[in-house]
Amino acid sequence: MVAREVLKSMLFGGRSATRRLGRYRLVRVLGEGGMGVVFHGHDEELSRSVALKVLHDHHAAGSSGRARLLREARAMAQLSHPNVVQVYEVGTVDDQAFVAMELVEGRDLDRWRAESRRSWRECVHAYLQAGQGLAAAHAAGLVHRDFKPSNCIIDDEQRVRVLDFGLVRERALDETEMMSESLLGSVEALDSAHDATLTRTGAVLGTLAYMPPEQMQGREADARSDQFSFCVSLYEAAYGLRPYAGRTRAALLASMAEGRIEAPPRGARAPARLRRILARGLAAEPEQRWPSMDALLDALRSLVTPRRGRWIAASMAVVGAGLGIQALRPHPEPCTGARARLDGVWDDARRRAVEEAVLDTALPYAPGTWERVEPWLDDYADAWVRKHTEVCEATAVHHEQSEEALGLRMACLDRRRVALRATVEVLAHADAMAVEHAVALATGLPGLTRCDDLDWLVQHDQRMPPPEDPAVAQQVEELRERLAAISATIDAGQYARALQDVEPVVRRAEGLGYDPLLAEAVYWQGRALDENGRYPDAERALEQAHALALRSGHDDAVLHATQALTSLVGYQLARHAEGLVWGKAALPLAERTGDDAELGVSWNNLGSVHRDRGDYEQARDHHQRALQAFERAQGEEHPRVAGVWNNLGNVLMRLGEYEQAEHHYEQALRIWEQALDPEHPDVAIASRSLGNALLRQGRLDQAEPYYRRALRIVEASLGPEHPDVAMPLE
């Protein structure tokens, strides 16, 4: 009676004398299944928390239920592995069978995947851990028989454990002990539910979608059956859909028998080799699958560590061979020249030039802008120096990185240095528009963490190797430096100059015949045309850039062209349906970069198109996703985050949720005041919006100061005759 009585007491209240089980105090119910109840318990002898699985009363009285639970526990107790939940004790108290297990705080892999857009690499890394747990079980002669994402738990330290070996059996046991004659009838009962779970004793247990065909058909299940379930789970995690389609058992079995594996969605980042690896594990016949779980895991590991290990080993061999010679002669301290690489990029002279240019504009917010821009640029330069030194020392001092890896990482850092130089150059010749955008320029410099991602750098280099002709390669780098300057010019709001500068770069790039560069040049041409209001020309250029980038394997340019077309087509040209197609295509591309800032841009663009179309609930959802992505990438106080708060406020105004809109505008105003300057024009935008929200609530007296503030800021920045002065007066 223990399980039912305590469960009833805990769920519906009332006192119970049975909130104990031997030395275990039952704290709360964690879950209930067909066989029993799982409690959070406390072992009062050993003073530790445990998970207690207690057999339901109607099973406890029968020998088969008790035998099944105890067999599960004995099987699990044989395992001691970091990726398997540990069994502490198996026993009975007053004829009540129980198992005491390790209590793991976390969420299952289904919830883990749903709570954030996981990259295929994250999914493979998580399932590699789960697979190691399965491999350990197989080595002990055990089969799980019910592997699925909900039977794997990941804790806050990102450690994955396999749990609920509720169907585990020793391979030597007679299969009929686990299968009754009701098998096929029970499975047929699932024909209308592709994803249902059987719970009747004597039936096939587990979720049909993850079950191998031999298990559905009542044939013997072995370690290769777990392999099939594992591959279904990882396929679903990596691609967002299950490999076999079928709404009935018969349809599902037919798909499996014919090997009709669902194609990955368009734009899926995962390499084709991952699909081939999983397809072997998904074969209908066990003999055609991987020979073991270990073999499958080895193949998966080769995907996420393709070459780095070999490079390190090779570099260690080379370094080791030269140690004797190096030890005989002194040499200068390596890796000390990073700061000198920033001479003329960001040094005292460039700092003074930027300060003078910003302050010479005499804008009311210029002093505050300089106070904010200087530390941003200082911090970026310092971080670049530290990273440059670290990358150098990994090869020259610690001997843990090959020369090839060093070259790729240094090239990445050089691109960041070029971006810094371009930003500083624009600010050193700043006009009023550049000062208005100065904080965005400084805070929008490309991150340095990408230069740590050796796998991405390798793939980037393999897809887009530099031209073989050294003279052409040098011209490519020169033109890329000019494109970096054009990028900074556009970000500074100097659109006419950017268009003038980009056209000769496009012509030169066309003459070189190197498509990755041409894709970049035409992209920036499209952006400049867009910002100058030449929308049809911009659309043609961006579509050309998109095609060139696809053809040349330039993933970053594909993403950026797709994002730009989302905004241009869906918002500026108001062709909403087409814009949404571009916007949805951008999402998986952004996810594949692993850069939350790119994901934020993509969600924000989609939200703007939906808002312009009048789909306000969709717009709210997409802007909220953008907000979360930007906060993850850049922190809650970043000026980009304020822009999304403002966008959300605009959506809420359209929905008539004026009080909520007020809160969102207050957030935007607070962040912009701190990140920019209280007199910055963006502060006027938030101030006017906040006034609108208050006015809609009938709070005119409270709205008026915000309107007056917006008017004062705009007049001071733009002059009393500027058209934007009329906005706070509407």
CA angle (297 as vertex; 294, 301 as ends), nearest 5: 135
Nearest one of 571, 596, 598, 594 to 582, comparing CA atoms = 571
Q: What is the pLDDT of residue 66?
A: 62
Band of pLDDT at residue 722, cut at 50, 70 and 90:
low
Determine which of 53-67, 101-115, 616-630 has the lowest per-residue pLDDT on average: 53-67
pLDDT more than 90, % of the chain: 59
Q: What is the CATH number of domain 107-304?
A: 1.10.510.10
Q: In what order do the strands lie in the sheet with 160-162?
A: 107-108, 152-154, 160-162
State the pLDDT confidence band at 265, using cuts at 50, 70 and 90.
confident
Among 62-76, 249-263, 513-527, 594-608, name the one with the lowest average pLDDT.
Answer: 62-76
pLDDT of residue 630 exceeding 80, the answer is: yes
pLDDT at 19: 81
The answer to whether 410 touches 417, Cβ cutoff 8 Å, is no
Task: Find tokens 């003073």 and name the residue.
Answer: 47
Mean pLDDT, rounded, for 222-238: 96
Tell me: pLDDT of 167 over 80: no
Q: Give the model's pLDDT for residue 34.
A: 61
227: left (phi over 0), alpha (psi -120 to 50) or beta: alpha
CA dist 397 and 713 (Å) reads 55
Of 146, 515, 556, 677, the active-site residue reads 146
Strand partners, 237: none
Looking at residue 516, what is its pLDDT?
Answer: 95
pLDDT of residue 409: 94
| Range scoring the smallest mean pLDDT among 64-68, 293-297, 362-366, 694-698 | 64-68
* pLDDT (0 to 100) of residue 33: 66
Determine the pLDDT at residue 353. Answer: 95
pLDDT mean across residues, the chain: 84
Average pLDDT over residues 97-109: 88
Helix H segments across 553-638? 555-567, 576-593, 596-613, 616-634
pLDDT of 644 strictly over 80: yes
Distances (CA, A) of 178 to 68, 203, 218, 487: 9, 9, 10, 66
- The CATH code of the domain at 2-102 is 3.30.200.20
Q: What is the mean pLDDT of residues 326-340?
A: 63
pLDDT, position 117: 82
Q: What is the pLDDT of residue 319?
A: 37
Note the pLDDT tens digit of each residue in 360-408. Answer: 999 999 999 999 999 999 999 999 999 999 999 999 888 888 888 899 9
The yes-or-no answer on residue 146 being catalytic is yes
Dist. CA 586–CA 560, nearest whole Å: 8
Judged against a pLDDT cut of 80, whether residue 665 lies above it is answered with yes
pLDDT band at 515 (very low <50, low <70, confident <90, very high): very high
Q: Is the pLDDT of residue 272 over 60?
A: yes
**513 Cβ contact partners less than 8 Å away, ≥ 6 residues apart:** none
Report the pLDDT value the prediction gives residue 545, as an integer from 0 to 100: 96
Name which of 86-100, 146-160, 629-643 the model is least confident about. 86-100
Q: What's the pLDDT at 318? A: 36
Q: Which residue carries 């690489």 as its tokens? A: 341
Domain ranges within the chain, ordered by starting residue = 2-102, 107-304, 305-463
Which tokens hold the place of 467?
């031209």
pLDDT tens by residue, 520-536 = 999 999 999 999 999 99
Does the pLDDT of residue 3 top 70, yes or no?
Answer: no
- CA atoms within a 13 Å half-sphere pointing along the CA-CB vector of 30: 20
Write down the pLDDT at residue 6: 54
Calculate the alpha carbon distances from 422 to 367, 450, 481, 551 in Å.
Answer: 22, 19, 8, 28
- Residue range 240-247: mean pLDDT, rounded: 90
Could you give the CA distance from residue 364 to residue 373 in angstroms, rounded to a whole number? Answer: 15
177 has a pLDDT exceeding 90: no
> Mean of the pLDDT values across residues 481-498?
96
Q: What pLDDT does residue 594 have?
A: 86
pLDDT in tens, 541-580: 999 999 999 999 999 999 999 999 999 999 999 999 999 9
- Residue 666's CB is within 10 A of a number of other CB atoms, namely 16
Q: Please give the pLDDT value at position 201.
A: 33
Confidence class for position 669, pLDDT limits 50, 70, 90:
very high
